[in-house]
Structure 1
Amino acid sequence: MRRLFGAPFAARTWREYAYALLATLFAVPAFVLVGVLGIVASVGTLVMVGLPVLIGVLVLARASVRWHRIPARAVLGWDWPSPPPRRRRSYVAVLGDGVAWRALLYALAHFPLVVTAAYLGGVLVVSGTLFLTYPLWWLVVPDAFGLVDDATWAQTLWPSVQGFAAVMTFPWLVRLLVGVDRVLVRVLLEPGGERRRIAALETGRDVLTADAARTLRRVERDLHDGTQARLVSLGVTLSRIEQRVDDPAVAGLVTAAQETVTEALAELRDIVRRIHPPALDAGLATALETLAARNAVPTTLAVDLPVAPSDATATAAYFAVAELLANVTRHASATRAEVRVRGDGDGLRLVVRDDGRGGAAVGTGSGLRGLAERARALDGTFAIDSPAGGPTAITMTLGR
């Protein structure tokens, strides 16, 4: 009973009503944009002009998820994970984006819920309070301005009953509508169990990939600035010793040691280049230009990178192009090659073509197999189109 009669005064009731009021401010523009444009898109589709509008509606619907989180987080302390970013930015990807479609459904259902809670809740509270206190008005205000009539004391009790019912209905109506809204968020906006696991795995993979890239860069710097410098110093010292030694046997040992140091330096520099090619310091586009210019087979290059890729993605792309161009030179018997690289915020796509003899395939232990595994490690794909007699086109996509 205490819970029942105390509901109009409970903090939860007023928090949820405040949420409905604040959510209405965000829901109205979202509903107008998404709803009106959605109607335009549905009508315009009949005349083949609504598709761009529909794409815009889906983009806005996905963005509106952030708006809906603001009042929920500010008033109720209630939050949900952000939707995973779209992996591709094409029009087809937008139309097939399940997150955007669910966000659109939520925007259309969320609006009437919070508006009804805000409006009816206000009406019930204000009118219910006035009717509940009607006997007091009857005593204090003697029919002032026609607000109170000449009813008897007994007749004033019926409006009080109505007011009491309205006040008691207020909290449960608000809780019901906000509860339905929460269910919709859970069903439409929160990632499900499988989607949460996928998102967690993707986040963990991105963190591990970035951490591995940072670790390799640190190792590369340590080898370059520390070990390599010491080997160079050791080589200089051995050269000085060789010049001062008169014993031929000792001089021969020193010479052998110096040659070993030289070989170790060469191997170390090769390792450093494999970890992080110095050409990438100037950016992926410049590094690829260097590869294309140095390739024995005439190579054309087209690079479109409006967003700089991550270090791991740039390194993988560089080594992939280097490996594929080397294969063109060694195995394809080609007279020309072409490299196209296009990137955005979700990753990049590279295509290497040649007019050689074809027949390329992913074989066990081959360089192409290694490239395919590297692409999968970065949430990418690797595809070969190389019929016998050529030409060959190898497409590789890499995630962020």
Structure 2
Amino acid sequence: MHAVLTAPFTRRAWAEAGYCLLSFPVGLVGFGSALILLALGVALTASVVGAGPGLVLAVLALGLSGALAALQRALAARLLADRVAAPARPRPADGFFARLDARLRDEAAWRATAYGLVKVPVAVFQLYAAAWWLIGVFDFLTPLRWLIVDPADGELMRTISPFPGGAGAPHSAGFAATFITAGIGVVTLLAAPWFTRAVVAVDRWLVRVLLGPGELAQRVRNLEETRALAVEDSAARLRRLERDLHDGAQVRLVALAMSLSMAAERLGPAGGPVIDPDRARELVRTAHRSAGEVLSDLRNLSRGIHPPVLDEGLADALATLCAGTLVPVELSVDLPRRPSPAIESIAYFCVAELLANVIKHSGAGHAVLRAEQRNDRLQLLVSDDGHGGAEIRTGTGLPGLAQRVRTVDGSLRISSPPGGPTAVEIELPLHA
């Protein structure tokens, strides 16, 4: 009930009403260019004499449809927060006829033209939905209009019905009757946002299907992006491994070699007396300690590449991870089939990063980790009762997690309103 009563006053409702008004002329121009220019171009192309002008008109119609499609995507992004990526344009070709052929074969332009044709009935309903707002306000102000106009005795105060043909529009014959009309206006205003939202939902679907990248093109683009991310991630890991080896294990090995060399000098020549036994023992102990530190560094490095706990399976690895956190974690695992090693590794490091964020940034006193298998997909959910406010762009490791899961065609979703709670859901394939 609260949502119904407050809907007319929300920013979303006003934005959708504005979208209906602004997209109506765009739809009319798109329909005119598709119907008139394209039809005329096709008709001229069918004749021998008008083939040249006909092709020019067809290309012009396709170009105008593409420009209007870009404007429509901008309106959807600005007012509806529905950002649809622009489809890839055809690559420029050499020669006039080659460019002409590329323009005529542009799938995105033809889909934009189809959008211009099917947009008209939707645009009419959008204009009709926007009219509900004006009608509701007009009827709601009927008592005020009566006081301003002050009609003569017996004169009716006209009202407007939101239904076609004026059905159900009462005409007030007295000041008291104007409040009935005002009540009808209130009902109309309460219904207007929901009617507008339903019409806009149809247009949203058309924009995504006809004005966005084609399914194959989008798949190719996603594969190119994930391949680039995988290459960058591998290169970053190699650089980090090289830096850790150079700054850690290599330095300790050099110190170990120097300690052993100095100990050999204190022992003296072979077969001779020991020059400084106490110093030699001290150097040997230092070398032994350095060897232990090198071994520890190498174990930490190998654990960062592939945690040994994953050898027993992801369920045991997650249990070990939760047991070592400072915040109590409720664990639930349901994995009938074991994912591939690469997916297990990604899942483990993602959960480790998310639990680290819970400890460092959320201020939570309790967390929940669920790992489930649904429809051949691995779903991970990490939630906490902290103060919320987590976003991809906050720099708490979430951008890196999003890139990591995308390399295997996974997804990451965050719900973290201010005040909490925070829930991060990761979906991965079972096999990379």
TM-score range, shorter chain: 0.3 to 0.5
TM-score (norm 2): 0.41
TM-score (norm 1): 0.44
